[in-house]
């Protein structure tokens, strides 16, 4: 038997756990290398309140049930624990659980495992988190990089398909620490966002169906290798955001589902506990121990992997009881409404915990509805997120850009509408992986016209995006105009960069990142109405829009003019707030981007001539399908 009674839990730990307020459960539950009475081994602890017995089975006992049984705590917590001498780092294990329910036996991976076997193998691995970080400079100044009034240009990455090696195999975390870090720095993004890196069994899920919530996937290396990747990004001045999935989990036999023979992690009412879209299980947000598990998981990545932000996936599916459900398939809340009150409470607790425990981090909601105050503080009644994806902007903008320019004059409200609600939340503008799969085409593939017009339209889209209020997010490949839809099981089409049109888009994105980062008018007030002022949104006939982006210092203000047709417009007059000159600082039609080179080479004088309801104005040249940015001098 050789299992010694041992515990990492105090009475206070147990009371916090039962109350759903223990946010560092990873320090107690799971497998922990330790020493007891001078003997080295591993302490195991697992939550299984419906169990009759729990054994640790693994390569150290030939997977024999009952060889190393754990002891249940006396305090009603449902935690089973024990110390097994001689079990070392690298040992492979699972929990064999015999349930009180009809003698059901389950064999489960450790929900708190720090490392997992390489899929399709499913066992957990005893591991540690020993690592010497070298990112002190970043961590000491992170709040200055990550503040809402700083640039947020995010490069979204799926690690398995960003780039493959010559044999078509995954790059390792260590290879990515060289190649990806160098690339992100070169192209000027301020942050990377990794699609889920937590262990997942099924590659076509893209990582969104998790089984190892505390373990970076072993597909690309060991936990410490992933730490190296984060460390190198920080040393390069790049923040790291992780996709986090507290919305659902798969029903794989070794996962969280039916863990101890009962609905432990999932809601027992399948109207709340089953997701019809993804055929997965939904967490029971009303159960205190489950809330503590999830919030502990978020805190874990911020603490042990120095993560700078969490983008929370599928928030809309969590907020509404009737999400993807027909009449009769859901039950209203106690007030007769469709909102999931338990989820709302959980999300508020999650955000309060994150922002209380860590300085200089952000949480970002992928939330596609009009649910109010998602990115407002909880003390004001909000959910407490730092930012929210602006899904309406994405949908309306891509719909507009699909139209032939000759018809755009009839649909300019598709673009101007975003400014009617742009400051109701702290919005991030996403062109994400979801927009380049399942027959939607690549971003380039949506652009109309001949080859020149398609690329000009794409440059126009990016110029408009980077000068629109809000943070920015581009999915990998969009920065060089990937022409095919994204495929999770291959590499991006890096060979396209040999062609001028594609390399021109990459240079454009690099320079747009530079424009964004070096002009405070584009980021200081990016989430407030103080940062934006229309010049003219009503020139539908010419399909032209013009606006001012404003920072704290008005001398830094920028004037932006967008021409959504392929017609060159010379002498196009725009109203301005004062006399002086307009100096062009950016033009998406430059020949360096493989544009046509229509430009404002010299400073443009501002005249005392009324236009757009203003006393002063200037006549500028607008390139075809282009965005021009000026400074007031």
Instruction: Let me know if 425 is a catalytic residue.
Output: no
Instruction: Let me know if 366 is a catalytic residue.
Output: yes
3 state DSSP class of 193: strand
Catalytic residue among 243, 342, 366, 414: 366
Gyration radius from the chain CA atoms: 27
Strands 92-99 and 51-58: antiparallel
DSSP code, position 227: H
Q: Are the CB atoms for 16 and 22 separated by under 8 Å?
A: yes
Catalytic residue among 110, 313, 511, 524: 313
The b-or-e profile of 109-123 (16+ CB within 10 A means b, else e) is bbbbbbbbbebeebb
Distance CA 456, CA 567 (A): 12
Structure tokens at 326: 């027909």
Structure tokens at 142: 């992170």
The DSSP secondary structure of 317-354, one letter per residue, reads HHHBTTTT--TTSS---TTS-SB-HHHHHHHHHHHHHH
Q: Which residue has the tokens 């009962």?
A: 262
| Other Cβ atoms within 10 Å of 452 Cβ, number | 15
Distance CA 90, CA 126 (A): 5
- By C-alpha distance, which of 387, 401, 415, 413 is closest to 523? 387
Q: Across the strands, what pairs with 430?
A: 473
Contacts of residue 20, Cβ cutoff 8 Å, sequence gap at least 6: 287, 288, 289, 290, 291, 292, 349
Distance CA 216, CA 473 (A): 23
* Upstream peptide bond of 120 is cis (omega within 30 degrees of 0): yes
What are the percentages of helix, strand and coil residues in the chain, rounded to 5? 30, 25, 45
- By C-alpha distance, which of 150, 142, 133 is closest to 361? 142
Q: Are the CB atoms for 464 and 398 separated by under 8 Å?
A: no
Number of residues that this document lists for the chain: 633
CB-facing half-sphere around the CA of 553: CA atoms within 13 A:
6
| Other Cβ atoms within 10 Å of 529 Cβ, number | 12
- By C-alpha distance, which of 64, 68, 67, 62 is closest to 46? 68
Structure tokens at 225: 């290798």
Strands 362-365 and 309-312: parallel
Phi–psi pair at 157, nearest 5 degrees: -130, 135
Catalytic residues: 313, 366
């Amino acid at each position: 038997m050789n299992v010694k009674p041992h515990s990492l839990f105090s009475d206070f730990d147990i009371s916090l756990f039962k109350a759903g307020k223990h946010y560092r459960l990873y320090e107690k539950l799971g497998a922990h290398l330790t020493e007891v009475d001078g003997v080295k081994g591993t302490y195991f602890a697992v939550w299984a309140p419906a169990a009759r017995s729990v054994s640790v089975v693994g390569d150290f006992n030939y997977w024999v049930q009952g060889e190393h049984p754990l002891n249940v705590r006396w305090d009603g917590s449902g935690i089973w624990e024990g110390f097994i001498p001689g079990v070392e780092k690298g040992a492979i294990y699972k929990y064999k659980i015999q349930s009180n329910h009809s003698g059901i036996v389950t064999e489960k991976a450790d929900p708190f495992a720090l490392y997992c076997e390489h899929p399709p193998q499913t066992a957990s691995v005893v591991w540690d988190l020993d690592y010497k970080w070298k990112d002190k400079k970043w961590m000491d100044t992170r709040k200055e990089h990550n503040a809402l009034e700083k640039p947020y240009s995010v490069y979204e990455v799926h690690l398995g398909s960003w780039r493959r090696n010559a044999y078509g195999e995954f790059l390792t975390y260590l290879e990515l620490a060289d190649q990806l870090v160098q690339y992100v720095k070169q192209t000027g993004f301020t942050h990377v966002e990794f699609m889920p890196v937590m262990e997942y069994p099924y590659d076509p899920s893209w990582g969104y169906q998790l089984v190892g919530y505390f373990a970076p996937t072993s597909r690309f290396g060991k936990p410490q290798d992933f730490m190296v990747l984060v460390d190198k990004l920080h040393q390069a001045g790049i923040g790291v955001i992780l996709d986090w999935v507290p919305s659902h989990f798969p029903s794989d036999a070794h996962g969280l589902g039916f863990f101890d023979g009962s609905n432990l992690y999932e809601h027992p009412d399948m109207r709340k506990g089953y997701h019809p879209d993804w055929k997965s299980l939904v967490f029971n947000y009303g159960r205190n121990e489950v809330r503590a598990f999830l919030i502990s998981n978020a805190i874990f990545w911020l603490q042990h992997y120095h993560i700078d932000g969490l983008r929370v996936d599928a928030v809309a599916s969590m907020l509404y009881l009737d999400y993807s459900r027909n009449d009769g398939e859901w039950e209203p809340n106690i007030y007769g409404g469709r909102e999931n009150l338990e989820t709302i409470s959980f999300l508020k607790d999650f955000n309060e915990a994150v922002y209380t425990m860590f300085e200089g981090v952000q949480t970002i909601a992928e939330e596609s509805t009009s649910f109010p105050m998602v990115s407002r503080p909880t003390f004001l009644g909000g959910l407490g997120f730092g930012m929210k994806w602006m899904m309406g902007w994405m949908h309306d903008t891509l719909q507009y850009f699909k139209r032939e320019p000759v018809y755009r004059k009839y649909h300019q409200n598709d673009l101007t509408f975003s400014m009617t609600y742009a400051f109701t939340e702290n919005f991030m503008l996403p062109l994400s992986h979801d927009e380049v799969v399942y027959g939607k085409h690549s971003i380039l593939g949506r652009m109309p016209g001949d080859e020149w017009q398609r690329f000009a339209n794409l440059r126009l889209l990016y110029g408009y995006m980077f000068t629109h209020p809000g943070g920015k997010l581009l999915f990998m490949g969009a920065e060089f105009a990937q022409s095919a839809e994204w495929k999770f099981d291959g590499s991006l089409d890096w060979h396209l960069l040999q062609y001028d049109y594609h390399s021109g888009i990459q240079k454009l994105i690099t320079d747009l990142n530079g424009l964004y980062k070096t002009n405070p008018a584009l980021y200081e007030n990016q989430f407030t109405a103080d940062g934006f002022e229309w010049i003219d949104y009503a020139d539908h006939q010419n399909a032209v829009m013009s606006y001012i982006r404003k920072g704290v210092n008005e001398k830094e203000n920028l004037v932006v003019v967008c021409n959504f047709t392929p017609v060159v417009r010379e002498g196009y007059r725009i109203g301005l707030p004062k006399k002086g000159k307009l100096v062009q600082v950016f033009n998406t039609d430059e020949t360096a981007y493989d544009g046509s080179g229509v430009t404002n080479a010299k400073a443009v004088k501002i005249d005392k001539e009324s236009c757009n309801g203003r006393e002063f104005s200037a006549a500028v040249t607008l390139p075809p399908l282009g965005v021009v940015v000026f400074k007031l001098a």
